[in-house]
Amino acid sequence: MRVVVDFDVCESNAICVGLVPSVFEIDENEYLSVVEEPDESLLPDLEKAVRACPKQAIKLIR
């Protein structure tokens, strides 16, 4: 599984960071980054992050 973020759409509002901090982080420039390829066990939390993104900028590729 891979997490893909459309950074042209992402507002770096950090909702996903709050839901899955082991995968998402805000860097020193206040931009969102994906910190690791997620384990399958994180799928339910990642699906919540996809749904919670106000810009729908996150997609999961399986």
How high is the pLDDT of residue 36? 73
Angle 52-47-2 (CA atoms, 0-180°, nearest 5)?
A: 115
Local structure of residue 30 (DSSP, 8 states):
S
**CATH, domain 2-61, list 3.30.930.10, 3.90.650.10, 1.20.1050.10, 3.30.70.20:** 3.30.70.20
Write down the pTM of the prediction: 0.91
| Residue spans per domain, the chain | 2-61
**Weakest-pLDDT range from 30-34, 36-40, 46-50:** 36-40
Angle at 42 between CA 37 and CA 47, to 5 degrees: 100
Q: Note the pLDDT tens digit of each residue in 3-13.
A: 999 999 999 99
